[in-house]
């Protein structure tokens, strides 16, 4: 799976996120196996999540207190 380039006329904003070590390992392995960056996988996942929940005002997630930190 080739990574589609980001269109040069689209602005991007850098965002960082802290992941548990195991999640980071799995994300890196998935990206590497498919020849894409971890950032690409995260962008696609966020895009799909936002499309699926477009127009919703509340998160469709039940987060534990520890997951919110």
Residue whose structure tokens are 């980001």: 6
Q: What angle do CA 33, 31, 40 make, to 5 degrees?
A: 145
- Predicted pLDDT at 12: 86
Indicate the length of the chain as a whole number: 69
pTM: 0.70
- Predicted pLDDT at 8: 66
Per-residue pLDDT of the chain (69 residues; tens, 9 = 90+): 555 666 667 788 999 999 999 999 999 999 999 999 999 999 999 999 999 889 888 877 776 665 555
Residue 13 three-state SS: coil
22 Cβ contact list (under 8 Å, min separation 6): none
- Asked whether the beta carbons of 37 and 3 are under 8 A apart, the reply is yes
- Predicted pLDDT at 66: 57
CA gap 47, 25 in Å, rounded: 21
């Amino acid at each position: 799976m080739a990574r589609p380039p980001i269109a040069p006329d689209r602005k991007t904003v850098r965002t960082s996120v802290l992941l548990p070590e195991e999640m980071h390992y799995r994300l890196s392995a998935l990206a590497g196996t498919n020849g894409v960056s971890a950032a690409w996988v995260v962008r696609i996942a966020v895009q799909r999540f936002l499309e699926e929940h477009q127009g919703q005002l509340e998160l469709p997630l039940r987060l534990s207190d520890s997951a919110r930190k």
